Amino acid sequence: MSGVLAFLTALGASIFLSLARGDLFGHFFSQDGGYIAYDLIIAICIFFIVKKTPKSFWYVPFIANLGGILAVFVLHSFDHPLEFTYTFAGWGLSIIVTIIASLIGKRI
């Protein structure tokens, strides 16, 4: 179940980012704000998934960050110079949140 929730997180966050960069919500977010919101959405979802099932800390961050992983290693599609930086910062945030949620989930 955790893997499915992580995949839905990846799908939903990727759709959100494409809408935030596009014409639909583009006027609400700056270029940087869309990526920051994307990373925060993923981190919040990872926290709740891993907190509920602490043993899933091995795979949930990778599945949830699937959009960023594909963008970096497969597509190489970065229009904005800081996109690469935001992607790696989001991965770091995901790892930190995963560790915290795993520790909290084991106590409960």
**What domain count does the chain have?**
1
Task: Identify which of 75, 54, 66, 58 has the alpha carbon closest to the alpha carbon of residue 9.
Answer: 66
Domain carrying residue 70: 2-107
E strands present in 4-76: none
Greatest mean pLDDT among 12-16, 29-33, 95-99: 95-99
78 Cβ contact list (under 8 Å, min separation 6): 71, 84
pLDDT tens digit string along 30-77?
667 778 888 899 999 999 999 999 998 899 999 998 887 777 777 666
Give CA–CA dist 95/62, Å, rounded.
9
pTM of the entire predicted model? 0.84
